[in-house]
Amino acid sequence: MEQNNRQNESFHALIVGVNRNGRTNFEESMEELKNLTEACDYKVVGRMDQNLKSIHPAYYIGTGKVEEIKPALDSLEVDVVVFNDELSPMQLKNLEKALDIIILDRTSLILEIFATRARTREARLQVDIAQLQYLLPRLKGAYEALGRQGGGAGLKNRGAGEKKIELDRRRIEDQITELRKKLKEVEKQRQIQRKRRAESGIPHVALVGYTNAGKSTLMNKIIENYGGDDEKQVWVKDMLFATLDTSVRRIDLPDQKPILLSDTVGFVSNLPHNLIKAFHSTLEEVREADLLLHVVDLSNPDHEEHKRITEETLKDIGANHVEVVEVYNKADLSDFEYPKVNKRRVHLSAEKGIGIDLLMSKVSDCVYQGLRKAKFFIPFQQGEIVSYLNQETKVLSQEYKEEGTLLEVECKEREYQRFQGYLVN
């Protein structure tokens, strides 16, 4: 186990994992746990592993490993111990009693990250619900942990988290009910927005992928090249779960065909079920998209595993039916050739802006298949139709006649049928 010197204003964490039956991805999972812990502003000062056939029902790890951890807590000045799986309420209670220290599991760690990253009202409501649902079966252990913290001092000010712990079961259930009502109000607004987008006929393209794969960087580069407005750009930071709030932007492709592009929350292995359930409305953006851009960090040695986890998550949320283009990002940091297009795969560098045009051309091909050429004659008194066609279709020619406007357009079947009464040969 590695040992680091104590740093001022830094909370030290020991990470612990069980390798069950020689899991091939165990090392990757522990590295991810380290990254998640650091994303929560804890400094990882040590790590302990144990090979077991199955998880110990009372302690997660074996009792011998529990005794081995105790002296390390003092020598490394550990403030919190983080476990690589979700602990049962009994395991959490037993470990806190045996080690006399704050215990976090993978789920509570992710929930804590989400709580600090949530920026919109919807995201905050979703995270609050997930946190309370996680807390409910763990109330007894939480009360005892709070007592050992001396009212909350020692680790860091967990604010709303401590207030939640002080609530009894009935009050927490009531609070969940109230939060769900508020969330439903927000969801109604999102549903209205989705309905309007659907009625517009503009294809919806959603960015998905493992957390920190570069989705927001890619979105900003696309906005920079095709959006024409820096104020439309989304927040980017090199950290896990930098984006929790879905951002939707209108993009005009090189051939003037519009799309709606959305950035979404990143996925991670063992994403807590409560979070998937809480982010139901946000994830509907993915399920109802016309095309998914699956962003993969090609420079990450575990990118194939990350790709598999994302595909599994898409299946879990019911989005595996949506057409996908795989975007292999950060190719400049790998040995792969780029920019390059191979069927439904695009190699590019979002950071350098190389390969973006190839990607958008592929997007156009996917979402605008089956376009029809048509000529419409629109009387002057129905100028709103001319405005609509100019905005939502590709206008090949426009000619003003004595009684109206003659337009030749390239349009989807939807517009062709909608304005069939104005068709001319």
- The CATH number covering residue 296 comes to 3.40.50.300
How deeply is 167 buried, as exposed, middle or buried, from its count of CB atoms within 10 A (0-12, 13-18, 19+)? Answer: middle
Number of separate domains in the chain: 3
Burial 336-370 (b: 16+ CB within 10 A, else e): eebbebeeeebbbbbeeebbbebbbebbbebbbee
Note whether 237 and 314 are same-domain residues. yes
- In this prediction, residue 52 carries a pLDDT of 94
Query: Of the residues 102, 132, 159, which one is the last residue of a structural domain?
Result: 159
Note whether 311 and 325 are same-domain residues. yes
**pLDDT one digit per residue (tens) for the chain, 425 residues:** 444 444 445 799 999 999 998 888 899 889 989 989 998 889 999 999 999 999 999 999 999 999 999 999 999 999 999 999 999 999 999 999 999 999 999 999 988 888 887 777 888 888 899 899 888 888 755 555 444 444 433 344 455 555 555 556 888 889 999 999 998 888 888 778 777 777 777 888 999 999 889 998 999 899 888 865 555 555 445 445 545 556 788 888 877 788 999 888 778 887 777 777 767 666 777 888 889 999 999 999 989 989 998 998 888 888 888 899 999 999 999 999 999 999 999 999 999 999 999 999 999 989 888 788 899 999 999 999 999 898 778 788 999 999 999 999 988 777 888 899 999 98
Unique residue bearing structure tokens 């350098």: 352
Note whether 340 and 287 are same-domain residues. yes
Note whether 47 and 152 are same-domain residues. yes
Dist. CA 268–CA 255, nearest whole Å: 36
Where residue 92 sits, what CATH number does that domain have? 3.40.50.11060
What single-letter DSSP state applies at residue 87? Answer: P
Residue 188 inside a domain? The answer is no
Residue 170 inside a domain? The answer is no
Residue 140 inside a domain? The answer is no
Note whether 356 and 417 are same-domain residues. no
What single-letter DSSP state applies at residue 422? Answer: G
The tokens for 218 are: 């890619």
Note whether 217 and 354 are same-domain residues. yes
pTM value > 0.85? no
Residue 50 inside a domain? The answer is yes
Residue 308 inside a domain? The answer is yes
Residue 299 inside a domain? The answer is yes
Q: Which residue range is the domain that position 230 belongs to?
A: 201-367
- In this prediction, residue 304 carries a pLDDT of 93
Query: Of the residues 338, 367, 396, which one is the last residue of a structural domain?
Result: 367
Note whether 221 and 317 are same-domain residues. yes
**Helix-strand-coil split of the chain, %, nearest 5:** 45, 20, 30
- In this prediction, residue 316 carries a pLDDT of 84
Phi (first) and psi of residue 204, to 5 degrees: -105, 120
- In this prediction, residue 248 carries a pLDDT of 81
